[in-house]
Structures are given as C-alpha cells and as structure tokens.
Amino acid sequence: MMKSQTWTIFLLSCLLYPQPVISKKVTYYGDQVLKITPKTPTQSLYLQALTRQWRLDLWKPDSVEDIYMDREIHVRVPSTYVQHMKENLDQQKVPFKIMIEDVQKLIDNSLASRSRTKAISLETYDYDVYHPMDEIYEWMEQIKDKHSDVVSHHLLGNTYEERTIEYFKVGLPSKKTKKVIVMDCGIHAREWISVAYCQWFVKEILAKYKSDALLNKLLKQVDFYIVPVLNVDGYIYSWTNDRLWRKNRSPQNGTCFGVDLNRNFDVKWGELGASTNCLDVTFCGPSAASELETKGIVRLVEQHKPNILMYFSMHAYAQLILLPYGYTMQPSENHDEMDKVAKEAVAKLKLVHDSTYYVGPASHILYSTSGTSGDWAADIGIKFSYSYELRDEGEYGFELPADEIQPTCEETFASMLSMFEYIDKQYLGPLDDDDKDDDDDDDDDDDNDGNGAVAITSLWINMLLSFAVCIYCALIN
C-alpha cells in the first residue's frame, strides 16, 4: 500500500520536475568551411539546393535564398559530406577554396589558450579572452559594486531556461532629462566577439570618463543601457554543447529548439531572409516578438523611447556597419546623416589597426533580412540605428581567435567615439551649470533585481527537488 503511494509520488515528482536532459556535446571533427563563389545563375540554384538538401550550416549569408551569382558564400560542410561536396563542386565547375580545414581543431585551439583560472577580481579580469556566462554574471556584479556612482544593473527579463538577462545603466546623475544610447550584444550565441566587445566597452568608458572630456560630458548627458549578453541560454549552450549554436533555446513544437532572436522583432516579421522552419538557423519564431529576450528589449526601449538617440546591435562577422533597412532597398528617413556618420567612423576605425569596414544598408551590402533589432529600432523612430558586424572578413569567421579580441575592441571603440563626437556636437549642446557639479542622486530606479532573485531561487528549488527525486529514485531501486 505504502509502496504504491510512494511510487505515485515519485512518478508525479518526475513529471513535475523533469530531469535535465543530458545532451551530447556537438563536435566538428573534420568539418570544413568552404568559400564558394557561384559563377552562373544555375550554379547559385545548385548551391541553394545542395545547402537545403544537406541542411548545411551557412556562415555567410544567413539564409539559403541569399545565395547569389558572384557572391562568395561561406558554408560549413560536415566531415561526412566534405569529399562528396568537393566532387560535386568540381563536376559543376564551381570555384571554391578551403576557409577552415578542421573546424573542431580551431575550436579546441581557441579554448586551449584560455587560462583556466577563474576570474575572481576586476583587477585581474582579462578582457582579451572569451568568458563563459558565469564569469560574466560575476563580472557584472563586481562592476556595479565598484562603480556604483555611475553604474546600476537591472533585470531585462528571464530566459526560457529561467536565467536572468541583465543590463547596465551607465551614466552620471543629472537634473535634466538625459538622452539614451542602447546597445545589445550577444543576440547570436556563437558570435562571441560581440559579447567580448560589450565588456570592453563598459570597461573602457568607466576607466576613462573621469579624464576624457568627451566621455565625461557624455555620461553627464547620456545614459547608456548596455546588454552584455541578450541571448543568455544560447550563449551558455555555445559553451557547453555546441560552439556554433546561434539561436536561443526555447523549444518549438516538441522536436527542435531555438528562435533566431534577430529575426523575431516586429518589423516585417517573417517576410524576408527568415525561415519558418524551426530546423533553420534563421527561424523567426512562432510569432513576432514571441521570445522573452525580444520582449525584454522591446520593454526597455519602449520605456525610454522619446529619449533614445542611438541603438547599437553587435554581431560578427563581415566587418560592416549596417544601416537600416534589411527588408527593403528603400533608404531610411535619416539615411544620409547615418551614412555620413558611419563613414567617418570607419575612417577612424581604420586608423587604429588598418582594418577595412564597409558601410551601407543591410539590403544593399549584406543581404535581405526582416525582424532584426536594428530595423525595428529605426522603424519606431530611433534616429541612429547601427548594426555592427565585427571581425573578421572570413578567415576564422565565428572562431575569431582570442588574440584578436583586443584589436577588434580597440578599433570598434574608436569608431563609436567618432560617432559620439558627432552626436555631441549636433544633439547634446553645452553642459548646464547644474551638470557641472553633480551631487544630487537621481532616483529613477527601475531596478528589478527582486524579480531576478525570485527567478534564481525558484530555479534552485527546482534543481534541488529534482536532485532529491534522483537520490530517492536511486535508493528505492
């Protein structure tokens, strides 16, 4: 009698507290990334068909329909297909080169260079290595503790896997309404350099705002809202299970996972350069703004909309500064000004390490996209919306070696400073006397840490209960 009751409880607990699925780590031994340039319309169609049929992982462009004649594509070919693929390309006389000989080797090398000592203090935090999420959470805590006079940190929302998405507000107190600049990083999980840049950016402005006149004035007149990792679940998954994961981790109709957050925004959602098939890397989700991460950004932006002057979305790779729009060839209302500012910025960028970046609307210089955060921000009226595609141009792609983090961040920061100089001249005006001696605390506190704490607690309870059930299960067997 007792026995059957306990069994019922056990079964119930199993249903209520599902055991974490221990998923296998994806490896890429022998996979190659090929650079292929179709030379005729027939070859383009052939490549499209092959990519679809074998579900190849396109690194450039994002979606199959954007494979065009005379435009180089980068595609990862699984080891089992490599030989066959090359034979096919030779047969069809499609020119190709090998970009990456062995994807897994490159992944292993890049992680081997990482020192295994866990970052514990800000003083020793390495900005030129890639950091896993737990270190970034820890870093955020320490940043806001150390710089509590200029930094506060807040909850953007929770992810599907019940982790917190956090952001910084960086700015000095002011009696006047401040302008706002928003930056999202890590919207695509595998683009680690984007996440590294956000950390660099925060470090840099905090280190320099006291001595640098421009940054000092900026922090008095502008609040930066910086999301170092938007796609937290995806980012973690790219560390633990699949280095080349791009989407978030929300389950779709029971069989597959993940929505491409940069196709999920409510701007011509699902129309161009986005897939409605969950197996694809550009899957736009079941509906516009369906994802928690998207909702978080929308909430933050709506809240500060009248004051937001700039929106940045950070990506890799291609070395581009993209202007709106991806969904139409039509220029945005503010196109000429945005274009001018970005072109000055890439000129400044080039001076640092001689990198070449191109500027233009995504639909012109990249490919068609819809549902991106950059286009969404532009369409709701934010004057300057830029999406960066950071290094490189196609040597390592998503596997950008750690020793390129610092130069990438330095040049990118220089380009942003150039934009801020312009913004300062045209939109900020001189400082008031009020702002010169700031002692007044502003208390527009939208810190929702309470909710975050609750979420974390419930996650722990859930895990502890699962654990208890496990032990129980082992004991009665």
Contact stretch for Zn ion (CB under 5 A) within 101-109, 191-199, 224-232, 345-353: 191-199
Q: Does 153 participate in binding Zn ion (rule CB under 5 A)?
A: yes
Q: Given the complex with Zn ion, which of 434 and 449 has the nearer CB atom? A: 449
Of 342-401, binders to Zn ion (CB under 5 A) are: none
Task: In angstroms, give the least distance from the CB of 147 to Zn ion.
Answer: 12
d(CA 294, CA 234): 13
3-state secondary structure of 15: helix
Contact stretch for Zn ion (CB under 5 A) within 176-184, 222-230, 273-281, 449-457: 449-457
Contact stretch for Zn ion (CB under 5 A) within 265-273, 298-306, 324-332, 445-453: 445-453
Task: In angstroms, give the least distance from the CB of 267 to Zn ion.
Answer: 16
Task: In angstroms, give the least distance from the CB of 456 to Zn ion.
Answer: 13
Q: Given the complex with Zn ion, which of 260 and 379 has the nearer CB atom? A: 260
Question: Nearest to residue 323, comparing CAs of 356, 357, 364?
Answer: 364
Chain length of the chain: 477
Contact stretch for Zn ion (CB under 5 A) within 64-72, 104-112, 314-322, 402-410: 314-322
- Residue number of the CB atom closest to Zn ion: 315
Task: From residue 85, give the alpha-carbon distance in Å to each of 36, 43, 78, 90, 93.
Answer: 11, 13, 10, 9, 12
Q: Does 188 participate in binding Zn ion (rule CB under 5 A)?
A: yes
Task: From residue 467, give the alpha-carbon distance in Å to each of 22, 178, 233, 358, 457.
Answer: 14, 48, 21, 52, 15
Q: Does 315 participate in binding Zn ion (rule CB under 5 A)?
A: yes
389 is catalytic: yes
Q: What is the identity of the amino acid at 134?
A: D
Question: Nearest to residue 247, comparing CAs of 209, 293, 201, 288?
Answer: 293
Contact stretch for Zn ion (CB under 5 A) within 19-27, 190-198, 264-272, 464-472: 190-198
Q: Where are the alpha helices (DSSP H) in 147-212?
A: 192-208
Q: Which residues pair with 183 in a beta bridge?
A: 226, 312
Q: Given the complex with Zn ion, which of 153 and 179 has the nearer CB atom? A: 153
Q: Does 169 participate in binding Zn ion (rule CB under 5 A)?
A: no
Task: In angstroms, give the least distance from the CB of 188 to Zn ion.
Answer: 4
d(CA 170, CA 178): 12
Q: Given the complex with Zn ion, which of 263 and 315 has the nearer CB atom? A: 315
Q: Given the complex with Zn ion, which of 94 and 155 has the nearer CB atom? A: 155
d(CA 67, CA 76): 14
Task: In angstroms, give the least distance from the CB of 398 to Zn ion.
Answer: 9
Q: Given the complex with Zn ion, which of 169 and 217 has the nearer CB atom? A: 169
Q: Cis omega before residue 78 (within 30°)? A: no
Tokens representing 2 are 């007792």
Q: Does 449 participate in binding Zn ion (rule CB under 5 A)?
A: yes
User: Are 259 and 248 spatial neighbours (Cβ–Cβ below 8 Å)?
Assistant: yes
> Who contacts 195 (Cβ-Cβ below 8 Å, separation ≥6)?
130, 131, 136, 185, 186, 228, 229, 235
Task: In angstroms, give the least distance from the CB of 338 to Zn ion.
Answer: 19
Tokens representing 204 are 């840099």
Task: In angstroms, give the least distance from the CB of 192 to Zn ion.
Answer: 11
Q: Which of 191, 293, 389, 411 is catalytic?
A: 389
x/- mask, Zn ion, residues 259-298, rule CB under 5 A, reads ----------------------------------------
Report, as residue numbers or ranges, the catalytic residues: 389
List of residues contacting Zn ion (CB under 5 A): 153, 188, 191, 315, 447, 449
